[in-house]
Structure 1
Amino acid sequence: MTKQWVLVTGGSRGIGRALVEELATQWNVVFTCRSNQPQNAEVIEACAGLPGWVESCICDGCDEEAVNRVAPDLLARFGAPFAVIHNAGITLDGLHIQQTGDNWRQVMDTNLNALFYWNRHLLPAMMAQGEGALVLMSSVSGVKGNIGQTAYAATKAAMIGMGRSLALEVARFGIRVNCLLPGIIESDMTDAIPAEALKALRKQIPLRRLGKAHEVARAAAFMIGKDSCYMTGQTLILDGGLTV
């Protein structure tokens, strides 16, 4: 088993949990979560029989001081990560004219500023290592408008711009940067949608179904793995044809 490790932000549930479980079949994984909750232990238990070890780490990525404490500790313990998947994010949907300043800033801090806080610690170590990959978990909302998601869409579109520029900056150090844009993925939120509304939603998707978290995880694994070693600065859309 390789000693390389991968950081997954927001890995205790949903797509994040699927990422941890998929990546632990090939790499060691550290995942972050905002608080000590039962889901953390459940993820670790689910990965117990996999080749890679898995560890949870309490850190709210939008708290700059928390990242300033945690990131150096991870580097001291494990060295530079092989890859970082910036997955943590929130929506806080609401019409633009009704959104509060606090909600707007919370979405910006969680979805965008946290990437900067982590990167400025981890990227220099990865650059010195001479290899690595970053995956920015964007969304089709970053390229396709969605009512009530001006803040969320703004951060996801910003990830695409950040990813393309950052890819140019770090390519000479052997580091690749790509964005993954999931569409509508099965989750607790979609489970709560009324049957008729869910049926109408599926009709908007050419493949006539919602995506699954493990499908997103497998795409992310490809994006950090050797099979995509000549891919950088790109956006991979995984949405069943929704944005075609």
Structure 2
Amino acid sequence: MQKKWILVTGGSRGIGAALVQYLAREYDVVFTWKDQQSRAESLLNECRALSLNVSGYRCDGSKPTEVKALAQQLLTEYGAPFGIIHNAGITRDALHFKQDINDWETLIGTNLNAVFYWNQQLLPSMMEQGSGSIVMISSVSALKGNIGQVAYSASKAGMLGMARSLAREVARFNIRVNCVLPGLIETEMTTQMSDHEQKALKSNIPLRRLGRADEVAQATAYLIGEASSYMTGQSLVLDGGMSA
């Protein structure tokens, strides 16, 4: 790799794929995927066709041994990363008193513990490098409650607290830490909804539309790059005014 390189976790589809494609215009990008091999291969082919320097690796971020092994491989091959984008996330919606314990632990492991595992492996090299940027893809659910999303909201709110405290810890090493909080974004799930269902969703959004994955990518590019060089420990909400 010749440009600065960044890691995007959970980069094979949805917002993650949009992040990879958008950021690869400026950076060398490494992304991880867990169980979407066909999507990962498709994304890699698309990027190669555009002469973008992108690599993908299978890794379950909820397993510290897998994170450590891949992190050491990446550090050996590419050196310290310029940035980390913590995007991997899942939902396991259920009423809190009915939440399955295994679902709770799986969600927290994927959405929150993985951030800790990756940071522990990659931050020391970034601190030694004396520069870098971390962006956590949280959610407006961290600010605005949703029935059935206690676990998801807890994990995404946890990111906000992590970012604020970590920003203070690593600022002296010229490393910044920020969050993006997307609202309702166009996904495969929303495009399969009926017109009536989509209208109901949009009725709660002041801008009367869903966000696009490329809009999240642009906001993330701002936070990861030098344009936001005096911004750290902050949360950028991208929800069409839903939380206003």
TM range (shorter): over 0.9
Q: Does 1:104 align with 2:112?
A: no
* Alpha-carbon distance in 1 for matches of 2:234, 2:49: 34
Write out per-residue CA displacement over residues 79-108 of structure 1, whole angstroms, 9 at most, x where no aligned residue: 011000000000111111111000000010
Q: Tell me which residue corresponds to 1:144.
A: 144
TM-score (norm. length: structure 2) = 0.97
Shift of 1:50: 4.2
Indicate the residue corresponding to 1:9 in structure 2.
Answer: 9
Aligned match of 2:31: 31
Give runs of aligned pairs for residues 55-204 of structure 1, distance below 5 A: 55-204=55-204
Name the SS for the 1:211 alignment partner.
Answer: coil
RMSD between aligned alpha carbons? 1.2
Distance in 2, matches of 1:222 and 1:6, equals: 14
**Aligned letter for 2:210?**
L
* Residue type at the aligned position of 2:63: D
Deviation string, structure 1 residues 30-55 (Cα, Å, up to 9, x no partner): 00001461111111122125464000
Indicate if the aligned counterparts of 1:95 and 1:147 stay in contact, CA closer than 8 A: yes
Percent identity over paired residues = 55
In structure 1, C-alpha distance between the alignment counterparts of 2:9 and 2:241, rounded to whole Å:
27
Kept in 1: contact 2:25–2:52 (CA 8 A): yes
Distance 2:105 2:49 in 1: 40
TM-score of the two chains, using structure 1 as the length reference: 0.97
**Matched positions, count:** 244
Name the CA shift for 1:171/1:50 in 2 (closer, same or farther; >3 Å): farther
On the 8 A contact 2:93/2:152 being kept in 1, the answer is: yes
For the residue of structure 1 that corresponds to 2:48, the secondary structure is: coil
Match for 1:240: what amino acid?
A: G
Structure 1 unaligned regions, length at least 5: none
CA distance in 2, matches of 1:19, 1:108: 22
| Gapped regions of structure 2 (runs ≥ 5) | none
Partner residue, 2:242: 242
Runs of 4 or more above 3 Å deviation: 49-52
Conserved? CA contact 2:207–2:241, under 8 Å: yes
